[in-house]
Structure 1
């Protein structure tokens, strides 16, 4: 998931953080997290606020963690793994060309507002997205639609890609047929994305009466997406309240859910921006689980009897470089100098949990297509200085954005990591101007729009295909990076169109080699994020894709 992509430890004290989180229904459970209290409510702490209650408008994991409990896509992933399985579609198939996708839908499925789920509802959603206009065509708003299906019925944004979506047909009430113009490595995986989860047709009509406004890093999202009451999916929970003042989203069990009913009646997602604050809240019994455990806290929690499972590595953390924002970054020697200046091994050693790895390319080594022949840029301050001098940039001044009030699976402590990078760059003679931005929506919108010269982001894979990593950024022009290099774009696109699996993997390796020769940004690391639960909780299966299903949660 996208930018999905960063986080930071804020100057809020741990005492204040715990003071804020102690005020909710979770405090009824008692103070040791394993006895007494309310067995009807499970409270889970994330590190950042969701950006929207409509997942189609989002690209970040904090949003998807919440909406995934309420919305379902045509396809899903097996619990705890990355294998595609049926979601709202029991089965699916495609023609040999990969351009016609047929979905056999589940019967007797209801939306939270009472509407019936059927093929017409599926097509209403896809046509709704395809016909977006105005600000909805901004990549900061419709990132995933554009990544998977291309542009729109009528592109208004000059940077929007050519539409690949062709049509959706309700062949009968339980059969939906989606056609695209050309085969894509993003399919069928794209059909599993939260951003393409299915909404009630009644809700879609309400959505159509409102609009997102603004552009770049100043976007205002429609009212329906910022408060509960309008959005309606088919999931095991329905969203009932978003208390932004208390940084809390409340969901209630949907008793007419078609599948296994949620085991706990109420589900609360609460934002606690600091790692220490989340840990203390769990230890105090104010919450029953939290994500993105600090590496230093794992053993402490385990010794206290808490459960701390670790997900498999399936992410990349990187430093993005926006060439349009800062002309000096158009010089290859400058990008190479910045890469050599940053001590990535030190970041892995001091900031990541055990099992973290220094990255050499824009995908982890767990994904087929990883290349062992890419050009590398080892830490070398002297070489960085030489390259800057050769580029005529010995006194380089550059703005470096980093996110606040958040932690990401690939980036446990954003501000700490930023400070390490800043110190490294300054040793090489670079003057760094820090620019902290609140994660949602400010940081997400700014980085999507290419408004930051340097920025810290990352990616947790949505599905297991190399294109989901390198195709995310480098198949065509992307404002985040602000460069146009046909050699890079053509290599990534060629790989995505290769239908033979073995040849496709080799094509991904070649594309990785070309990307790292060009060096649009710096891959930093991959990290196995940990998640924690109280002693009295039967936790859900943890997912390498961070797609936990909280309907599986129960109390012992």
Structure 2
């Protein structure tokens, strides 16, 4: 196989990128042959993963059978790594991401017009796109990793939009252009955790005293970028189902905190260690400053707190061991569904909160086994109410990031998972957008970089897509989807008349071939970039035929 891939690499890289006016060695005629459904089955679930089988039922129907109920399979496969590729082209390239990206054969609204390595990528609108035609004819993506240089570029009017717009670095700088700031809704949570198997956190009154003491508003205002929000629940406001409307966390009340400590009868002279990671993350950029503030607030009501700063790997091990009484921790989720927040804290066999909270776990599990969003929200309302009563942790912050666009760019909508580039209006194309990083490769299956996903999501399509500006789902290459009664099987009805850039017709075998190349280690197309397929493992647990 290695010799085959090496030969193909030489062949494809010696050819120009496909454009609207070029022919290509992999162009195909529309299919007129009889359809033979493909499928792949694990036989049983003993291999340890979440998928049991993937089967093309007919040309425009595909079915996923699972090893356990999963109400959020559509939200998972909407993630950009699960872009669908033409079966024939996938076979031709052997699943090599570099080869797949070289010609970028997608079904999406744009195709690659020009890619100048290290400088820019120009995308042009596809005239025969199956969906609503993009409003902007051409988009050019550029990249500068340095915040200051990216700021100057935008200042000088060299770009129409810029990601990771660092407000603090710009507030004292005169900017000649008119611009608007857009805050990306966060999908993360910083919280102060308390292990109920470690004294004194087995005492509800102690946990309540801490809840009354912390001032989330002050912490976010003092140490977080504009657009960040104080947290009063696990899920951010944008997460529905998940967030409970009208349910607020405890207001800061030092007298109530002192009264709770008196009721607890604990010895406040005993030292309590606050464990935390020294590394910055998406949910906390300066851990030391935040910890200093938390300690000052807790000491003000009589707690004897000492910080314990740790390298990230050491801190993670301590969290896994579950032997830290008080700790500052957080989560950034990978797909926009409440289960990704709640499972991390309660149902993923994590030990950091100590002994289980049976009532909370039951409510969360009920939500996870329900597909109807209204019913799911009822269970999350129950869980959120119980969390406030039992206080296994104190939610602190949902960190945000921001973008900026010139004011003459119209119809902009920024969500937690994407930006609506296809709907933006630029009167002077191309629309130039400046991001942090160059895409690693133009085929996303084995990638992890957000800047890569931003571009590949305009070239390729997934079965299900994220709505612009929210965490809701909308049809992509699948027009509809439906589970069975116990949520262990999902059936997707596919679109008719969709074509890949190379002219191939899209059908259910393309879906089976794309997922099989990732899932099955014995599949000849299981190649990718690193071969790790990190997001697949996060979502589905294990490869088939893993060695």
Q: TM-score under structure 1 normalisation? A: 0.52
Q: Deviations over 1:392-451 (max 9, x none)?
A: 7831123211433x6x4x6576665455335445654311123365xxxx7998799679
Residue 548 of structure 1: which of 415, 419, 438 is its match? 419
Aligned pair 1:421/2:291, yes or no? no
Residue by residue over 1:120-168, the C-alpha shift from the partner in whole angstroms, topping out at 9 and shown as x without a partner, is 99977xx7xx89xxxxxxxxxxxxxxxxxxx97512xxxxxxx553321
3-state SS in 1 of match to 2:397: strand
Q: Are residues 1:435 and 2:310 paired?
A: yes
**Alpha-carbon separation, structure 1, partners of 2:394 and 2:25:** 44
Q: Deviations over 1:70-107 (max 9, x none)?
A: xxxxxxxxxxxxxxxxxxxxxxxxxxxxxxxxxxxxxx
Distance in structure 1 (CA, Å) of the matches to 2:323 and 2:113: 34
Go from structure 1 to structure 2 and tell me whether the alpha carbon gap of 1:396 and 1:300 turns closer, same or farther (over 3 Å shift): same
Distance in 1 (alpha carbons) for counterparts of 2:179 and 2:402:
10
Quick check: 2:209–2:261 contact (8 Å CA) kept in 1? yes
> Any idea what SS the aligned residue of 1:545 has?
coil
Deviation of 1:492 after TM superposition, in Å, equals 0.3
In structure 2, distance between residues paired with 1:289 and 1:386: 55
Q: Is the 8 A contact 1:425 1:432 kept in 2?
A: no
Q: Confirm or deny: 8 A CA contact 2:183 2:227 kept in the other structure.
A: no
Residue 317 of structure 1, CA deviation:
2.7
Matching residue of 1:457: 330
The answer to whether the Cα contact below 8 Å between 2:269 and 2:304 also exists between their aligned partners in 1 is no
Q: Which residue of 2 aligns with 1:516?
A: 388
Q: Which residue is 2:202 aligned to?
A: 331
Q: Provide closer, same or farther for how the CA distance between residues 365 and 550 of structure 1 changes in structure 2, counting only shifts above 3 A.
A: closer
* Secondary structure in structure 1 of the residue aligned to 2:294: helix
**Aligned-partner Cα distance in 1 for 2:78–2:318:** 25
Describe the superposition over 1:197-230 as per-residue Cα deviations: whole angstroms up to 9, x where unpaired: 4467699889999xxxxxxxxxxxxxx89xx567
CA-to-aligned-CA distance 1:471-527 (integer Å, 9 cap, x gap): 454344236767643332211011233455444322211011223334343211346
Q: Which residue of 2 aligns with 1:271?
A: 145
> Where does residue 53 of structure 2 map in the other structure?
167
- The SS at the match of 1:396 is strand
Alignment of 1:398 onto 2:240: no
Q: Distance in 2 between matches of 1:115 and 1:322?
A: 60
Say if 1:320 and 1:481, in contact at 8 Å, map to a contact too: no
Q: Displacement, 1:372?
A: 3.9
Conserved? CA contact 1:488–1:515, under 8 Å: yes
CA offset at residue 534 of structure 1?
4.9
Question: Structure 1 382/540 Cα, relative in aligned 2: closer, same or farther at 3 Å?
Answer: same
The answer as to 2:233 corresponding to 1:361 is yes
1:492 touches 1:508 (CA, 8 Å); kept in 2?
Answer: yes
Equivalent position of 1:497 in the other structure: 369
* Cα-Cα RMSD: 5.5
Cα–Cα, structure 1 residues 348 and 233, in superposed 2: closer, same or farther, change >3 Å? farther
Match of 1:191 in 2: 77
**What's 2:182 paired with?**
310
1:174, 1:424 → 2: CA distance?
A: 60
Structure 1 residue ranges without an equivalent (≥5): 1-110, 132-150, 156-162, 210-223
With the length of structure 2 as denominator, give the TM-score of the two structures: 0.52
Q: Which runs of 5+ in 2 are unaligned?
A: 1-23, 433-547
Structure ID, larger Rg: 2
Tell me if structure 1 keeps the 8 A contact 2:183–2:400. Answer: yes
Are residue 179 (structure 1) and residue 51 (structure 2) matched?
A: no
* Secondary structure of the structure 1 residue equivalent to 2:395: strand
Please report how far the alpha carbon of residue 169 of structure 1 lies from its aligned counterpart in structure 2 after TM superposition: 0.6
Q: Which residue in the other structure is 1:349 paired with? A: 221
